[in-house]
A and B are shown apart, each in its own frame.
Chain A
């Protein structure tokens, strides 16, 4: 098998082959699936073939020693793809997720629907492949920003009458991508090369500092960290669930974390405790804390999960931001875990939505016994994200806790509080949706609540199995996948070395369980289990302000833009006034004055002529002297 992978990787390393098979072919697949959108089975098979072929190529790149190809394209933009082990691993992860999420999406959309979605999704895969494998950093930006078009397009599907979210996403992601553009050109200037593989440990000074910070902002924006996060909860309300699994759930996390990790591990020289490291750690800690704080009080399943998508990326960024090997491994491992359980959770939400026609937790209750497999998957995903000892989420979080504590205790405390709220919100979600007395939404019969079809159930179960495997056999992801690819020699696999940290984490989980039991009894039901926190004095007001959108950075940004625009419009009016009123006024005024002066009086003309003559003589004398 390895021999096959190696020869395929060598084949992909020939000029233009990578772009043909990992970029053009997925795009072509999208077109075919779109053309076959009315034929349920055919589109499924074609989609599966293309997704599997992409997985095969990605696996070949990873196991076959990577690709290294360069071909002339445009003088300023050499077409070169060189994968490192890390980028090949991300390619592989993206291909695996694409296979599952595309299979799920096709089952989610009935025949005749979802054609445009799949088209955009396949093109997005092409862009992700291109961005991950690009060695030319300008080319990477091309693919990176290319995702913006598909993102905007997907968010517009079905929302042409209400384009709010699409516009917000375009404005926020577009801004982050343009920061990234500035960062990339500054990085090229600082490094003196466009080739990422030739950039190593660039100093973070002057142009390098600009390049590093701006690229990080771009990457944080793609990953969905604060303050670039606020379109995601809106998307949870407006976009179909496959979108959430595909973009905020997997692709954007992979790309964002990939780039942050590359910046930290090989492009720039970032040491633990340096300004950049502290800055990124703070972004991570704030994102995880505020994200999960908002998730805690949500009573809509998709919105709740979307806030968790934000908070989980905060953990990853905090881990990598510490610049400690344990943090970088932990953050990257958390990214892999997160794409498994977060995509899985979105798929679970989609399955429930399919049956109940709603994601509002007020409307249904206790559907677990009607959907046992879905419930089992939810439990696995929920325990993983909450970090129950033994699950994959536990191991990655412990590594991040370790790094956070070593950096600053404040980060550690924030991360612990985040873990408490994560566990509490999933206990609430699980307790309300799956357990307790069965209640179906109005107009939906009990018998209509049943397992979804195999097309949706299979990816869900596969992700759950992978989740379990990544926990039990964590040596493989931690040492083989991540440690080796990032060339970190120290091993972080196996049971966490600090028993104290494990005990504290367990105590936090126990506190979350106790809180849930207390809340359920005190507030009347699992759905209201955290209401005593939500409506606690002080917090109640903060939540009210946040829920009303006043803390949305997008809102502040738009406010600032509007003030700036008003000022520009005012300047513009001033300039127009000069052209339209002032200059014509002066010309007319002078003309009128001259006309009135020329009243036919001979003496007036004589005096004027005399004054003019004297002036000429004066000028003449001045000139002679």
Chain B
């Protein structure tokens, strides 16, 4: 029984994706619904583990443990809304069959990745996700989008290849790729450094982050799915899986990585303050927030680790929502230029509310879920005995408040710019999706014990 659930989580989106182009030829509606069903099936099956406390199972290189289930729930719950949102956003564009194919295949790859216990399987799914990312960024087939897609592909694949050398190094040390057999083993420094290249490039950490702001040329649901909610979390997930749960690594990394993260958090927050493109601001914000996640996971304390995991969930929901809100505005205005926006709350009242809810969560203001995550991460680094790094991240958090307030004010408040007399609110499915994500960001905070319980289960195995 457990194995059926486990296989469904992975195979429903992974194999189902291949049927979508065929369904698309029969009926676009059928394809749209099938895409949602595949992703929803993964969510439901992952949730079943939580709801019915199924014994976590293991089979053929796949393992459902608390961390995997947590990541699966976090990723698919946002993905469901993104697929629904896509119905409204992508409607009328060319290559829709490919779009849904790639989106669902990507979710499948993500599921495969989080449940894998074998390093080679992880690498394989890692590269499938990069391939989907490449196709989806270049979705509009314009010259600029293709250049940007290539950039994202080359940076992340290069990082992954270096990581693969690290994996081979692990094989050289211990004679296996199976993580179950290597629990608690110590990794040499050079292997850790090689693997970090893969992790940091995937999770867009300075200076390997440059592809992420440029990837904003993709359709907004893609940006939301790949560059906020799911893809960029692969790197930090791999960090948690490899260096916290499986292997022992040098204590030096509990300082080195927080320092790298601190630089990443500050530089990207600074860049977000001046960017003129709404999606670039949010993308820089993603880089900055990913640094908080990395800080929590890498600081070496349990509190920080719990905070880092909660941050993954809180950020996926809220940042996913922010990109989708930006998408609604951009879809209607046909521009991402902040200078041409202003006073849009009259035309986009619901989007403005959803944006504010999600922004409050990213800022870390109670009672939103982002507050608990940020608090625990900062407590984690202070517990680890590094108050100065904690202070730097507080500065990063201050800047988060400022740039998100700035972007909210520039888009929605103030006098109307007059550039877009015909602009109006997005379609019902789009509005419904962003409102749902905003409300979830709030509810997850008020009911923080729900994700908190799940995360506690993760820490028990350490």
Determine whether the beta carbon of B371 is less than 8 Å from that of A142. yes
Question: Which of B90-98, B252-260, B372-380 has 4 or more CB atoms under 8 Å from chain A?
Answer: B372-380
Determine whether the beta carbon of A142 is less than 8 Å from that of B271. no
In whole angstroms, what is the CA distance A167 to B165 when docked?
49
Which B residues are CB-close (under 8 A) to A175?
Answer: 398, 401
Which A residues are CB-close (under 8 A) to B379?
Answer: 76, 138, 185, 188-189
Q: Is B137 an interface residue (CB 8 A)?
A: no
Determine whether the beta carbon of B387 is less than 8 Å from that of A210. yes
Q: Is B390 an interface residue (CB 8 A)?
A: yes
Q: Is B414 an interface residue (CB 8 A)?
A: yes
Q: Is A620 an interface residue (CB 8 A)?
A: no
Which chain A residues in 446-461 approach chain B with CB under 8 Å? none
Closest CB pairs A-B (n = 9): A568-B270, A565-B273, A163-B413, A174-B401, A74-B452, A185-B379, A572-B271, A565-B270, A142-B366
Determine whether the beta carbon of A142 is less than 8 Å from that of B378. no
Residues of A within 8 A of B (CB): 73-77, 138, 141-143, 145-146, 148-149, 156, 160-163, 167, 170-171, 174-175, 178-179, 181-182, 185-186, 188-189, 207, 210, 561-562, 564-569, 571-572, 575-576, 578-580
The 8 Å CB contact of A170, one of B397, B405, B448, B449, is B405
Which A residues are CB-close (under 8 A) to B54?
Answer: none
- Nearest-neighbour CB distance to chain A for B295, whole angstroms, equals 13
For chain B, the count of residues having a C-beta within 8 Å of the partner chain is 55
Known: A77-B372, A564-B270. A178 touches B210 (CB 8 A): no
Determine whether the beta carbon of B378 is less than 8 Å from that of A182. yes
Q: Is B274 an interface residue (CB 8 A)?
A: yes
Chain B: CB-nearest residue to A138: B375
Q: Is B160 an interface residue (CB 8 A)?
A: no
Determine whether the beta carbon of A575 is less than 8 Å from that of B415. no
Max chain A C-beta neighbours (<10 A), residue from B266, B378, B456: B378
Chain A: CB-nearest residue to B151: A579
22 chain-A/chain-B pairs, Cβ below 8 angstroms: A73-B448, A76-B452, A77-B372, A138-B375, A138-B379, A143-B366, A145-B371, A146-B367, A160-B343, A163-B409, A167-B406, A171-B405, A174-B363, A175-B398, A175-B401, A188-B382, A565-B270, A566-B274, A568-B274, A569-B271, A579-B151, A579-B211
Which B residues are CB-close (under 8 A) to A566?
Answer: 270, 274
Chain B: CB-nearest residue to A188: B379
Determine whether the beta carbon of A171 is less than 8 Å from that of B402. yes
Determine whether the beta carbon of A161 is less than 8 Å from that of B413. yes
Chain B: CB-nearest residue to A206: B387
Determine whether the beta carbon of B383 is less than 8 Å from that of A170. no
Which chain B residues in 38-76 approach chain A with CB under 8 Å? none
- Nearest-neighbour CB distance to chain B for A421, whole angstroms, equals 33
Determine whether the beta carbon of B378 is less than 8 Å from that of A76. no
B305-316 vs A, CB cutoff 8 Å, 1 = contact: the mask equals: 010000000000
Which B residues are CB-close (under 8 A) to A182?
Answer: 378, 382, 387, 390-391, 394
Which A residues are CB-close (under 8 A) to B399?
Answer: 561
The 8 Å CB contact of A178, one of B268, B345, B401, B413, is B401
Determine whether the beta carbon of B398 is less than 8 Å from that of A565. no
Q: Is B431 an interface residue (CB 8 A)?
A: no
Determine whether the beta carbon of B269 is less than 8 Å from that of A568. yes
Determine whether the beta carbon of A189 is less than 8 Å from that of B382. yes
In whole angstroms, what is the CA distance A170 to B363 when docked?
11
In whole angstroms, what is the CA distance A565 to B396 when docked?
12
In whole angstroms, what is the CA distance A317 to B446 when docked?
34
Known: A74-B449, A161-B414. A207 touches B387 (CB 8 A): yes
Which chain B residues in 191-213 approach chain A with CB under 8 Å? 206-207, 209-211
In whole angstroms, what is the CA distance A70 to B334 when docked?
53
Chain A: CB-nearest residue to B363: A174
- Nearest-neighbour CB distance to chain A for B113, whole angstroms, equals 26
Which A residues are CB-close (under 8 A) to B275?
Answer: 569
Known: A75-B452, A575-B206. A171 touches B273 (CB 8 A): no
In whole angstroms, what is the CA distance A447 to B378 when docked?
61
Determine whether the beta carbon of B271 is less than 8 Å from that of A145. no
Which B residues are CB-close (under 8 A) to A186?
Answer: 382, 387, 390
Chain B: CB-nearest residue to A562: B273
In whole angstroms, what is the CA distance A575 to B406 when docked?
24
Chain B: CB-nearest residue to A75: B456
- Nearest-neighbour CB distance to chain B for A301, whole angstroms, equals 27
In whole angstroms, what is the CA distance A188 to B376 when docked?
12
Which A residues are CB-close (under 8 A) to B378?
Answer: 181-182, 185
Which A residues are CB-close (under 8 A) to B398?
Answer: 174-175, 178
Which A residues are CB-close (under 8 A) to B268?
Answer: 568, 572
In whole angstroms, what is the CA distance A160 to B171 when docked?
60
Q: Is B360 an interface residue (CB 8 A)?
A: yes
Known: A145-B366, A148-B365, A161-B414. A575 touches B372 (CB 8 A): no
Chain B: CB-nearest residue to A583: B154
Which B residues are CB-close (under 8 A) to A146?
Answer: 365-367
- Nearest-neighbour CB distance to chain A for B140, whole angstroms, equals 19
Chain B: CB-nearest residue to A141: B375
Q: Is B118 an interface residue (CB 8 A)?
A: no
- Nearest-neighbour CB distance to chain B for A250, whole angstroms, equals 21
Which A residues are CB-close (under 8 A) to B383?
Answer: 185, 189
Q: Is B303 an interface residue (CB 8 A)?
A: yes
Q: Is B429 an interface residue (CB 8 A)?
A: no
Q: Is B155 an interface residue (CB 8 A)?
A: yes
In whole angstroms, what is the CA distance A160 to B415 when docked?
8
In whole angstroms, what is the CA distance A174 to B306 when docked?
24
